[in-house]
Amino acid sequence: MIPEKQIKELREYLSKAENPLFFYDDDPDGVCSYLLLKKYVDDRGKGIIVKSVPTLEEKFVRKVKEYCPDLVVVLDMPDISQDFIDQVHVPIVWLDHHGPVERKGVHYYNPRLTAPKDNKPTSYYAYKVTKQNLWLATLGTTADWYYPNFAKEFATEYPDLLSKKVKKPETVLYDTKLGELVKIVSFLLKGDMKDVRTSIHLLSQMESPYEILNQTSPKGKWLYKRAMKFQKEYDVLLADALKTKAKGKLLLYYYPSTKNAFTSEISNEILYKNPTKVTIIARESSGYMKLSFRSTDIKLPKLIEKAMDGLDGYGGGHEHACGGNLNKDDFDEFIERFRALIEK
């Protein structure tokens, strides 16, 4: 748990900032964290989505110089390079829930610094800061497979979107209207970056989930229509993935390069339908395999690291949900090693 003193400190940084610059991860947890804080500061400042990389690297310094913020806010990013921090000459606040790292010159808020098993999503703590926009907070936390203590309040306010009887995040994601909204937001983060930025901007203007789900406003209708284009592509891939049979503990599905990536979404849904298996969804792209790992009870990061040893690739993330990138030529060797490790 992040202490209330630190929550208050983070709130004060935001309240005093006239021109904050937000960097946030490209998943619903990261986006909802951003939307919660952006709405809290009355839409001040700018936001930059960080696509497909786990580290806020030195190259992003140019964005800081471009916007000249008085505060940099980093959300749901597993790492920030020390070179980035050293070249940014305004306060940096970093709210995250991945495995903690050591960096100098940054105000770092991570529950796992004091409670290693506290993996509550970034949007959970963003909501503790803002205490506003319950629907965004519930969307972001359940999207990261966490059932928050404020879900009951959400179910009271939106009983048609979430039943109070539902207690598991995976049930929320695949058996409720709230889960449909999570998938919509996830799809809105795909495709052309201009359209992604437009989608996030319109999401920041939504006052209710019904604007999107029931298309009760022109902007909500635009968001829904755009998401449904990706839904059709996803449904085709998912149907194919569901035909895959596990070998031992491992369920492996891979597909060739496509314009849009759905490895994370497919791996989540496949795991929901096959909870006793370790799932790897892989997509070939430019000579590399983009990987998404899921499990229910096997801790993944150390096993991935060990199986990657000496190979051209990397992987990591949460205990039961990880991503990775691996040279196509090393893929078979990695799978053989990884399979042997999880079968022990």
Task: Give the Cβ contact number of residue 180 at 10 Å.
Answer: 17
Question: Are 48 and 60 a contacting pair, CB within 8 Å?
Answer: yes
Find the helix packing angle between 218-241 and 263-273, rounded to 10°.
60
Q: pLDDT tens, 91-138?
A: 999 999 998 999 999 999 999 999 998 989 999 999 999 999 999 999
Can you give the pLDDT at residue 332?
97
Sequence-distant (≥ 6) Cβ neighbours of residue 261 within 8 angstroms: 190, 283, 285, 290
CATH, domain 4-221, list 3.90.1640, 3.30.750, 3.40.50, 1.10.10: 3.90.1640
**H or E stretch covering 324:** strand 321-327
Report the alpha-carbon distance of residue 212 to residue 166 in Å, rounded. Answer: 22
Can you give the pLDDT at residue 233?
93
Main-chain dihedrals φ then ψ at residue 107, nearest 5 degrees: -90, 105
Question: Which parts of the chain have pLDDT scores under 50?
Answer: none
Question: In 3D, which of 44, 10, 22, 30 has the Cα closest to residue 131?
Answer: 10
Report the alpha-carbon distance of residue 279 to residue 273 in Å, rounded. Answer: 11
The two tokens of residue 286 are 């430019």
Report the alpha-carbon distance of residue 152 to residue 141 in Å, rounded. Answer: 13
| Ranges of each domain in the chain | 4-221, 242-343
Can you give the pLDDT at residue 246?
95
The fold adopted by the segment(s) 242-343 is Diaminopimelate Epimerase; Chain A, domain 1 (3.10.310)
Can you give the pLDDT at residue 344?
82
Can you give the pLDDT at residue 68?
98
The two tokens of residue 182 are 């999570």
Listing DSSP states for 88-143 in one string gives: --S-EEEE--SS----SSSEEE-GGGT-TT----HHHHHHHHH---HHHHHHHHHH
